[in-house]
Structure 1
Amino acid sequence: MVSDDLVDVEFRHEEGDVLAGQSGGIYSLTDHLLTARANRLQAGQADTELRSLSHLDEESVKLLEHQVTAAHRALFEMDGKALLADEVGLGKTIEVGMILKEMHYRDTSDSVLILTPAQLAQQWQAEMLEKFGIEFVCNYDDEFEGFAAHDRIIASIDTAKSDRHRKTVLARDWDVLVLDEAHYVKNEDTDRYDLLDRLSYDYAFFLTATPIQNDVTDLYNIISLLRPGLFGTREGFHNYFVNKSQEKLVNRNELQKRLSEVMIRNRREETDIDFTKRNVTTRTFEQSTAERDLYEAVTDYVRTAYGEDQGQKLVLMTLQKEVVSSPAALEGTVRSQLDDDDGQPAHDTLLKQILECIEAIDTPTKQERVQRIVREAQERVEKGRVIVFTQFRATQQQLLETFADEGYATHAFHGGHSSDEKEEIVEQFEEEGGVLVSTDAMNEGRNLQFCNVMVNFDLPWNPMKVEQRIGRIHRIGQDREVYVFNIALEDTIEEYVLDRLYHKIDLFNQSVGELSEILTRLEETGRNFEDEVFERLVDADSEIELENNFDEMAVDLQEQRDLADKVEDFNSGVFEGFDLGASDD
């Protein structure tokens, strides 16, 4: 353990001929075909047990009861078409892995297409191979030759819908379609939705922790892709289930009944998972005189240059982030700016002043502090494992050299490594211990439950990135308390982001899904979180005005959080009493 000292509508099917159902209800040809397809799952089998589970390596994947139940229901009670809507962190990917493993065992999945957000594609690839022994090619792999060349493909949904690949994707008849983060296709007027609507497949499994983000129509759109006609027309659905203000559900029992045909949702409190405690310690440290001079020089340059040329925004934002990371990170960007400034004397003078300030700094304050945290972890934590996150490669290199000089086993992880190299680095870190210094290339895609200490050496302005970092170690499978240390310099943009923004949205107690709701709503107003932070910095003429600017942004965040809470209350109304078990028949 590390001490805290440390630092009425009638529902009709929209497609297919109508047949007479045994109960006198509507039964479409589409339903008949779905049932026939589902029977393929049981062909040659005397039961509907998940027979492939006995072939899984218990060391690679530990199955939880709610996951096994979800996989079974999706396959055998929902005709192989289901919306897996467990809350964040309950292992929806594992549920899909079990489903695909069973279908492979029963020889019903010759072609499988998994569509994900771009940043999650390789994570899916790794988990399917490592946990279930199912090999997929990813669209980011060198050996990827297109959507017609492979039978098991994981790809970003934006790659699949692109002009280059769309025709090929739609030309195939896929056995299985998996769609991760299905709420991204909730808008029927987008290319993503159109792609999913046109795809040909036999079985489909959609995943989302937030099936409703704005109103219940989101849910209609997603489920209509899985089961066309289940809820009738969009207008009829909306009129039947939501009153005019869209704030109160009506006919809730009917909604839940129909949802139970296609959706599985588990909640944290309904499972046996005992998530370990998360301890977050934030420490701000006084800058040295030289560091303060450097910070003020960089801020002056950023405000001056941005006032003259807003086209430089990305570079200037980078400078403002680098100055609180390390002089090493800052220096390279400053020298590049000197080379690219086309001889503007005023700019050159300011940039040269920044370089002089860099030279005046001996050992950065934050570097000293992170050494103390690592030293403590070496004494109290198994194999002394610590993950240190930074946004910049130059800072990473400096930290690696510092830790190596002190005799620690060091490991570097960044986006320049191949997939195989990344796998090897993680394995070495687990075996040898020591310090792994990573860029945000590890924000997503790797599970590091064998480590329980993390340091945010510099903090991304986007809080989702911070939570993604923490999510590498604080997740299912972590059996120890997790310790997260945030390091920041006083009177800097980093401290403002921490104190006024992160704490306002209670970042470190939010789940990824909850945080996503807040940020999504903010960005739907047309504002990007990081852009907003930068604009409030450069627009301030004084420290008091800067404080006021960030206080205003904090109020905006609180408003978005209140709206997100209302959505969660609405979701709870939809899902309250939702029957998660099998029917009695």
Structure 2
Amino acid sequence: MGADAADLLASTLVDAQVDLNPHQVEAALFAFHSPLSKGVILADEVGLGKTIEAGLVIAQRWAERKRNILVICPANLRKQWHQELQDKFSLQAQILEAKSYRELVKAGTKHPFDQARVLICSYQFAKSKADDLRRVAWDLVVMDEAHRLRNVYKQSNVIGKALKEALANAPKVLLTATPLQNSLLELYGLVSLVDERVFGDLPSFRDQFGALNNAATVTKLRERLQPVCMRTLRRQVQPYISYTKRIPMVEQFTPSQDEQVLRDMVSDYLRRPALNALPAGQRQLISLVLWKLLASSSHAIGGALGTMAQRLQDKLGAALADKTNAQLSEELDKDYESLDETEEEWGEDGDDSGPPLASVAEEIAELREFQRLATTIRDNAKGQALLVALGKAFAELEELGANKKALIFTESRRTQDYLLQLIELSPYAGQAVLFNGTNTSDQATAIYQAWLQRHAGTDRITGSRTADTRAALVEHFRDSAQIMIATEAGAEGINLQFCSLVINYDLPWNPQRIEQRIGRCHRYGQKHDVVVVNFIDHSNPADKRVYELLAQKFQLFEGVFGASDEVLGTIGSGVDFERRIAEIYQTCRNPQEIETSFQQLQLDLSGEINAAMLKTRQLLLENFDEAVQDKLKVRQTESKSARNRYERLLMDLTHAELRDHAEFDHEGFTLNQTPPGLTPSDVPSGRYELPRRSGDAHLYRTGHPLAQALIAQAKGRILPPARIRFDYDAYGSNVSTLKALRGQSGWLSFSVLSIDALGLVEDYLLVVAITNAGEAMHEEDAEKLLRLPAELLQDDLLMQPPATLDEEVLRLERQHIQAVNTRNLGYFDAEVQKLDAWADDLKVGLENEVKELDREIKDVRRTATVAATLEEKLSWQKRQRELEDKRSQLRRRIFDRQDEIDGQRSRLIDDLEGRLASTSTLKDIFKIQWELA
């Protein structure tokens, strides 16, 4: 079974709860293409499911019992990764962040990263725990949105350099739609994260590939990249995936006079150089949150202002500044649930220096006045605009033939409560459900309890109240409610493709957060176009310009795919763009300043999108559509065949082991009683299906406790030699190669060959059959024989197997070992070629330094020749001698360096040769004397 065969992933394909597309299987197999590989870059365009591809790789490593697995991703994608691995691959991952890390340490876990399970953390947290990461022998590290590390070759990329050093020996899968944006050096940076020996050092890369000025250089670079980087385009997978469009709608509104007064007063307050209420070390972060809450609703900002006033009052009374500052962010986080993620992404350093502070008492009085005004505003103009927008959007959905369901996003829990009250007084009363980070409301609890009763005894219930409440609320929205009002943090990681209307009641400034929101509905499997509604405040020029940028420059709200790779890749994490917007709100006081700042921001964005680099990316990373599509057709057939065969084998084994405990049909089985040795809690009775077709059937899969127990039970059986009669006619299908054998008899051997090479153990089933005439049957025919119905005969006529049977087994064993050795030799040769290219790169770099000195010496010699005075001539002669001495030293260093490079190469090859040595064991499972009736 080679690493390029779909059979490698057979059990993972069966267990994955997702309709796998051939390009995803192809990408996963690419990641396994050589056991000597240190990793790959999967660079599919946006929307093709790179998370699924990486999930397949993770699930396969897990199945191989390689359990030290780490996923590093942007902070706002952690929950999504957690949910995807749980829902689609039945893998229970753990998110590590400051709080959970501290709790684990407190509970006695000395090294929280060393747990033999799938762990998920953000880039910032991974960087802060680099020493912990270095300590773990990782089996796999996945880096999502890896383009943010593409400048790792620069000293300024602190996160990239820290992670590169900490994870130097870990096999990696990097996920990014934009591996190359502005410079070829970015490609060098990403590849060096995966494998330091694909290219030489940075100077030699610049010398060889800095200017792709001829076809030979392009071809050479492309050949270097092909083993480590794979890119699939959306147009190449159109035969397998149909995409729907996004339809934008804008609802404009004008705040009331009181709302505008409140906004202006709070805005002026936030723009002051120094504030008692905001800790200087978190000034930018908390100001951002307050600007967002101000735009959200009077209820949201009113609550925050009250919190700030109370904290200042406590500070004034108790003089506990540090305690107060720490608690302010914690209090705001209860309403603005994304604060912890934003704080982690912004990474603001605590600097408590600043201008002299005004009177605390005066500031408290101001905050109380702002709060009083906010609480007197009960109806918000944007809230009324929401009701109007719902009517228009539902009419649009009716035209599209989609479900009349709406997903409304807000960044504030208080705004969420206000919107629920608003909807309860509208024609949509009783149709709304709330979804947030805690989901502890009376409504959520009642929905959760009803869901538990409805799914009692099924594997829909995970036992995690948090996960099950989320599942219950999503199901309630799908089946009963018309509107879900969700906070951004709460809705991470959920699949709402049954909904075709996304309403951004509050609009984030980070384009990637918006893309993630819309992606809850506009995703693979969506059958209808998705309507996206946004609101524009007529009276706020900054709000209007933000929307224009997001809609026009980032193309977030219309088209088939949403934000383009080029634009989203340009902004990296999206945090820098968010900072720029926050800075405009913080510093610009009039429409002219706002307009000037936004024009500059748009100009900067345009300058960062490099058309020449897009062309270079196509040349280097994209393959011809026809070749890709042909390969995907083959992969689709292979993966479907492997999956079907594995499902059949699993069900056949289950049927054989559960014969007295279950009733079987074409779609699954009904377990009447729990088999001996298992408990009803692990293996409840009821309906089991593979794949699951009916709503409440247990999902049967390789990793299910029942399947694991039955496999172990079957493996543990002692099978002495026996006489077996196979019944050809009872099989019900024509097997032409066996038909001619009816009435004949012979011997069959079944054994397992295990080959250990390159750190991998591969198992092969050897099925050998011969007739009594001594003729060897084809291996496929021997396997087919075992599928026929059979009966056990009296063993009093059992004879000794002939020697030719064992000879045939040994012949097949040698054949498999030879095939594995030949394949591994191919991997070895490819790795040696890579090492040779790496060594040549380094030598070229050194030789180029000498050439540069030669050129400089010639220039100096020429200048000395034409010098006008003796003093000048002597000065240039002296300079020439210095350069010649330097060249001599460099040449000596080159010899030493070349010896060092050759020595490294030799040591690496010795290491590879040691790993290439293989051992094998052959284990007999059973031998039977057969006859075919």
TM-score (norm. length: structure 2): 0.51
**Which of 519, 523, 539 is 1:475 aligned to?**
523
**Which of 192, 200, 208 is 1:224 aligned to?**
192
In structure 2, the residue matched to 1:422 is 470
In structure 1, the residue matched to 2:292 is 321
Name which of structure 1's ranges 447-456 and 547-556 shifts more when overlaid on structure 2. 547-556
Q: 1:386-397 to 2 correspondence within 5 Å?
A: 386-397=406-417
Q: 1:4-19 to 2 correspondence within 5 Å?
A: none
Q: Is the 8 A contact 2:511 2:568 kept in 1?
A: no
Distance 2:508 2:215 in 1: 39
Question: Does the alignment pair 1:258 with 2:224?
Answer: yes
1:50 match: secondary structure: helix
**Which of 274, 278, 281 is 2:242 aligned to?**
274
Question: Does the alignment pair 1:571 with 2:617?
Answer: yes
In structure 2, the residue matched to 1:175 is 139
Q: Give the deviation of 1:482 after TM superposition.
A: 0.4
- Please list the CA deviations of residues 449-479 of structure 1 after superposition, one character each: whole Å capped at 9, or x if unmatched: 2211011112223333222221222222222
Q: Give the deviation of 1:174 after TM superposition.
A: 2.9
Q: Is the 8 A contact 1:414 1:438 kept in 2?
A: yes
Q: Is the 8 A contact 2:436 2:491 kept in 1?
A: no
Label 1:353 to 1:507 Cα distance change in 2 as closer, same or farther (>3 A).
Answer: farther
Label 1:538 to 1:124 Cα distance change in 2 as closer, same or farther (>3 A).
Answer: closer
Read off the aligned partner of 1:278 and give its amino acid letter. Answer: R
1:387 match: secondary structure: strand
Read off the aligned partner of 1:547 and give its amino acid letter. Answer: E
Read off the aligned partner of 1:516 and give its amino acid letter. Answer: L
Label 1:453 to 1:78 Cα distance change in 2 as closer, same or farther (>3 A).
Answer: farther
1:76 match: secondary structure: coil
1:113 match: secondary structure: strand
Q: Is the 8 A contact 1:467 1:512 kept in 2?
A: no
In structure 2, the residue matched to 1:121 is 78
Label 1:345 to 1:118 Cα distance change in 2 as closer, same or farther (>3 A).
Answer: closer
In structure 1, the residue matched to 2:29 is 72
Label 1:479 to 1:193 Cα distance change in 2 as closer, same or farther (>3 A).
Answer: farther
In structure 2, the residue matched to 1:457 is 505
Label 1:442 to 1:513 Cα distance change in 2 as closer, same or farther (>3 A).
Answer: farther
Q: Give the deviation of 1:442 after TM superposition.
A: 4.5
Read off the aligned partner of 1:292 and give its amino acid letter. Answer: Q
In structure 2, the residue matched to 1:131 is 88
Q: Give the deviation of 1:226 after TM superposition.
A: 2.9
Question: Does the alignment pair 1:212 with 2:180?
Answer: yes
In structure 2, the residue matched to 1:361 is 377
Label 1:548 to 1:422 Cα distance change in 2 as closer, same or farther (>3 A).
Answer: same
Label 1:550 to 1:327 Cα distance change in 2 as closer, same or farther (>3 A).
Answer: same
Q: Is the 8 A contact 1:456 1:487 kept in 2?
A: yes
Label 1:513 to 1:111 Cα distance change in 2 as closer, same or farther (>3 A).
Answer: same
Distance 2:527 2:413 in 1: 31
Label 1:492 to 1:349 Cα distance change in 2 as closer, same or farther (>3 A).
Answer: farther
In structure 2, the residue matched to 1:409 is 431
Label 1:459 to 1:565 Cα distance change in 2 as closer, same or farther (>3 A).
Answer: farther
Distance 2:10 2:479 in 1: 34
Q: Give the deviation of 1:103 after TM superposition.
A: 4.2
Superposition RMSD in Å = 3.7
1:287 match: secondary structure: coil
In structure 2, the residue matched to 1:440 is 488
Q: Is the 8 A contact 1:442 1:469 kept in 2?
A: no
Distance 2:78 2:404 in 1: 31
Distance 1:222 1:538 in 2: 35
In structure 2, the residue matched to 1:11 is none
Q: Give the deviation of 1:278 after TM superposition.
A: 0.3
In structure 1, the residue matched to 2:420 is 400
In structure 2, the residue matched to 1:61 is 18
Label 1:122 to 1:289 Cα distance change in 2 as closer, same or farther (>3 A).
Answer: closer
Name which of structure 1's ranges 212-221 and 75-84 shifts more when overlaid on structure 2. 75-84
In structure 1, the residue matched to 2:584 is 536
Read off the aligned partner of 1:83 and give its amino acid letter. Answer: I
Name which of structure 1's ranges 261-270 and 78-87 shifts more when overlaid on structure 2. 78-87
Distance 2:45 2:526 in 1: 18
Read off the aligned partner of 2:186 and give its amino acid letter. Answer: D
- Please list the CA deviations of residues 169-192 of structure 1 after superposition, one character each: whole Å capped at 9, or x if unmatched: 333333333232333333144454
Percent identity, aligned pairs only?
28
Q: Is the 8 A contact 1:459 1:494 kept in 2?
A: no
Q: Give the deviation of 1:441 after TM superposition.
A: 0.5
1:174 match: secondary structure: coil
Label 1:477 to 1:349 Cα distance change in 2 as closer, same or farther (>3 A).
Answer: same
Q: Is the 8 A contact 2:409 2:505 kept in 1?
A: yes
Label 1:298 to 1:125 Cα distance change in 2 as closer, same or farther (>3 A).
Answer: closer
Q: Give the deviation of 1:556 after TM superposition.
A: 3.3
Rg (Cα) greater in structure:
2
Read off the aligned partner of 2:49 and give its amino acid letter. Answer: G
In structure 2, the residue matched to 1:371 is 387
2:571 match: secondary structure: helix
In structure 1, the residue matched to 2:262 is 294
TM-score (norm. length: structure 1): 0.79
**Which of 490, 496, 501 is 2:544 aligned to?**
496
Q: Give the deviation of 1:367 after TM superposition.
A: 1.0
In structure 1, stretches of 5+ residues that fail to align are 1-37
Distance 1:152 1:539 in 2: 44
Distance 1:575 1:83 in 2: 11
Name which of structure 1's ranges 257-266 and 507-516 shifts more when overlaid on structure 2. 507-516
Q: Give the deviation of 1:436 after TM superposition.
A: 1.4
Q: Is the 8 A contact 1:294 1:358 kept in 2?
A: yes
Label 1:47 to 1:329 Cα distance change in 2 as closer, same or farther (>3 A).
Answer: closer
Q: Give the deviation of 1:51 after TM superposition.
A: 1.8
In structure 1, the residue matched to 2:9 is 50
Label 1:236 to 1:497 Cα distance change in 2 as closer, same or farther (>3 A).
Answer: same
Q: Give the deviation of 1:326 after TM superposition.
A: 1.2
Q: Give the deviation of 1:284 after TM superposition.
A: 1.6
Q: Is the 8 A contact 1:89 1:475 kept in 2?
A: yes
Distance 1:67 1:247 in 2: 34
Q: Is the 8 A contact 1:413 1:441 kept in 2?
A: no
**Which of 476, 496, 514 is 2:566 aligned to?**
514
Q: Is the 8 A contact 2:303 2:371 kept in 1?
A: no
**Which of 307, 314, 318 is 1:336 aligned to?**
307
2:139 match: secondary structure: strand
2:531 match: secondary structure: strand
Distance 1:352 1:202 in 2: 55
Label 1:554 to 1:345 Cα distance change in 2 as closer, same or farther (>3 A).
Answer: farther
In structure 2, the residue matched to 1:148 is 114
Label 1:346 to 1:558 Cα distance change in 2 as closer, same or farther (>3 A).
Answer: farther
Q: Is the 8 A contact 1:324 1:458 kept in 2?
A: yes
Q: Which runs of 4+ in 1 moved over 6 A?
A: 246-250, 307-310, 581-585
In structure 2, the residue matched to 1:95 is 53
Q: Is the 8 A contact 2:500 2:521 kept in 1?
A: yes
Distance 1:484 1:252 in 2: 42
Distance 1:149 1:77 in 2: 27
Distance 1:265 1:251 in 2: 20
- Please list the CA deviations of residues 67-102 of structure 1 after superposition, one character each: whole Å capped at 9, or x if unmatched: 122222332367553221111221111112223334
In structure 2, the residue matched to 1:27 is none
Distance 2:619 2:473 in 1: 46
Distance 1:180 1:314 in 2: 25
Label 1:378 to 1:522 Cα distance change in 2 as closer, same or farther (>3 A).
Answer: closer
Distance 2:189 2:381 in 1: 52
1:258 match: secondary structure: helix
Read off the aligned partner of 1:404 and give its amino acid letter. Answer: E
Name which of structure 1's ranges 485-494 and 508-517 shifts more when overlaid on structure 2. 508-517
Label 1:558 to 1:230 Cα distance change in 2 as closer, same or farther (>3 A).
Answer: closer
In structure 2, the residue matched to 1:505 is 553
